[in-house]
Structure 1
Amino acid sequence: MRITILGCGTSTGVPRLPNDWGTCDPENPKNRRSRASILVEHGETTLLVDCGPDMRTQLLAADVQHLDGVLITHDHADHTHGIDDLRGYYMERKSEIPVYAPAEALKRLRHRFDYIFKSRHGYPSICSGHEITGLVTIGDITAIPFWQEHGPIYSLGFRFGDIAYSTDVNAFPPESFEVLAGVKVWIVDALRHRPHRTHSHLEKTLGWIEQIKPDRAILTHLSNDMDYAQLRNALPDGVEPAYDGLVLDIV
C-alpha cells in the first residue's frame, strides 16, 4: 500500500495570506504546506481522503490519472471545497465518483454543492453520495472509520490495514483507541505548540503516540509556527513532521 501526503497544512495553509510564514523558514520547501489530504493506493485502486481547495494542484503534482472514490473526514471548507474539480475525473471515468462521508457532513455537502450530487439544467451529477456507517470497501482498499472529537463536532479518522490517518482531532472516544491499537504508521494532527480548542497540540499528540506506540508517527495539519527543521531535530525517535509530497510505501 502507498500513502502520499498531498497536503499537511492547517486550514490557511503555509504561508498564510498575505504572506505570513510565522516561525517557519521560507527557504525550506518542506515548510510550504497545502491543505491536509492524503492519497491511498493499493492494487488497482486509488482513493482520495478529503478534497480541499488545493486538491487540483495536489493531484496534478502527484500525477493522479484516475480516482476510484473519495472519503471525507468532515465538511469543513479546508477539507471539501475543492470538490468541484472532481469533474475532471468524472469525465475520465465517464461515471459518477463515489463520495463517502459521515451523515451530517454528507447532508451539508449536498446542500452546499447540490449541483455536484444531482443533475440539473442539462448538466450531469458528477458524484454519488454515500453515508459512512461502517467499513468502506472501494476496490482493493478497505477503510475502517473511527470517530474523533474536533471541538464542537466530530470528524472521522480512517485505518487502512496497518496505517491510520487522524487529522482534525482534539480528543478520541475510548472505542477509537481500540481501532488504533496495533497500527504501524500513524499520520496524526499536531497543529501547533500551544493548546487549541479544536485541534491537538504537539504535547498532547506526543502523549497519544506514546500510548498507541506505532513504529512511525507522522505529524500533520501543521500551522505556520511549526518549522520543519526545528521539529525534525526536536522530535523523539520514530516521530517526524509531514511535508507535502511525502510518500509512504507500506509492505
Structure 2
Amino acid sequence: MEVTLLGTGDTTGTPTVDCDCDTCERARAPDAELRERVRERGIDPTDGVERSRFSVFVRSESGESLLIDCSPDFRQQFLDADVGLPDAALVTHIHFDHLDGLGNAYRLFDDLPVYAADETDPVTGESVAGGIRSRYDYLDTVTVRPQTPYEPFSVAGLEVTLVPVEHPPLVCYGLRIEEPATGAVLSISGDTCYDVPERSRELLSGADLALVEGIVHPEACEFHPKGGADFDDEGVPRTFGTKHMTLPGARQFAADIGAQEYRIVHTAHYVPADRAFADDIALDGERFSL
C-alpha cells in the first residue's frame, strides 16, 4: 500500500491567504534547518512548505487507487503529487474542506464512484452520501455508493471500514483501510475530538500508519468559546472546543491505538512557528510504503 499525503492542513491551510503570522511566513520561506528536515521527509522545499486542505491518496498492490476526501485544492494537489487520478473516492463528512473538490470530477472522469456513509445525520436530516447527491446532482460522472458504518466493504483492492467519531454537530467518520494482499493497515481518525467511541478506537488500533487529527496547540483552548476538554493528569486539554484534538491529544490518541507510525494532520497555522513544523506533524507530499 502506497500512501501519499496530498493535503495535511485545516480549513484555511498553511500558509493562509493574506496572513503574515510567523508560522505562515516560515512556511513560505523555510529557514535552513527546516529545509533540511523537510528534505529528509522526501519533500522539495524550494517553493516553501504546504499544508493544503485535507486529502489522502492510497494505491493498493493491485495498482488501483482510492482518494480520501476531495479537497478544494484538488487540482494543485494532483499536479504537485503526480500520482494519476483515483479509481474511486471516499468522503468522511460534508464540511467544505473535505468535499468541495469533488466538482473537479467534471470533465476529468468518465465515472467516479464516491463512497460515503448511509447513516442519517439528525442535524441535517440526510446522510453524508445523501448530502453528496444533493450537492453534486449535476455531475453525471459521479456515482454515490452509500455504505454502512462498521461494515467493511471492498474498493480499489482495499478493505475499508467507516468508523464513527465525534465531530459535533455533524456526523463524521474515521477509516480503517486494510490491504488483504499484504495485511498493511492505514488508520485515519477523521475530524474528531479525543473522546472517540471505544468500538471505533478498537477498529483504528494496530495500524502500520495512523493519520491523526490535531488542529492546534493546547494553549489555544483559552481563546475558544468552549475552551478545552478531555484533560490529562497534568490538566492539558486533549480536545480543542468540542470537535478537534489538540496536538497533545493527537499524540496521546496515536499512542492509545498503538500505531507503529503516525502523523498529525489537519493542523492549523495558529500553532506557533517553533512548534508548527515538528517532525510528527504532516506536510503535503509525504509518502509512505506500508
- TM normalised by structure 2 equals 0.75
Corresponding residue of 2:237: none
Counterpart code for 2:191? D
Alignment map for 1:232-251 (pairs within 5 Å)? 240-250=280-290
Distance 1:244 1:46, change over 3 A: same
Alignment map for 1:220-235 (pairs within 5 Å)? 220-226=265-271, 230-231=275-276
Corresponding residue of 1:167: 190
Per-residue CA deviation, residues 82-120 of structure 1 (Å, 9 max, x unaligned), is 111113431xxx3x210011231121222222202xxxx
Rounded Cα–Cα distance in structure 2 between residues aligned with 1:112 and 1:231: 34
Q: Would you say how many aligned residue pairs link Structure 1 and Structure 2?
A: 233
Distance 1:81 1:22, change over 3 A: farther
Corresponding residue of 1:36: 54
Task: Show structure 1 runs of 4+ deviating over 6 A.
Answer: none
Alignment partner for residue 138 of structure 2, among 102, 105, 115?
Answer: 115
Contact 2:88 2:156 in 1 (8 A): no
Distance 1:229 1:187, change over 3 A: farther
1:180 aligns with 2:183: no
Corresponding residue of 2:259: 214
Offset, 1:77: 0.4
Rounded Cα–Cα distance in structure 2 between residues aligned with 1:157 and 1:197: 17
Alignment map for 1:33-72 (pairs within 5 Å)? 33-42=51-60, 43-72=62-91
Per-residue CA deviation, residues 40-83 of structure 1 (Å, 9 max, x unaligned), is 00122111001121011111212233321001010110011111
1:126 aligns with 2:141: yes
Counterpart code for 2:129? L
Query: What SS class does the counterpart of residue 106 from structure 1 fall into?
Result: helix
Rounded Cα–Cα distance in structure 1 between residues aligned with 2:79 and 2:107: 11
Counterpart code for 1:201? T
1:199 aligns with 2:222: no
Offset, 1:186: 0.6
- TM normalised by structure 1 equals 0.86
Rounded Cα–Cα distance in structure 1 between residues aligned with 2:98 and 2:209: 22
Corresponding residue of 1:121: none
Rounded Cα–Cα distance in structure 1 between residues aligned with 2:55 and 2:13: 12
Distance 1:13 1:20, change over 3 A: farther
Corresponding residue of 2:23: 23
Offset, 1:206: 2.0
Corresponding residue of 2:115: 100
Rounded Cα–Cα distance in structure 1 between residues aligned with 2:6 and 2:273: 16
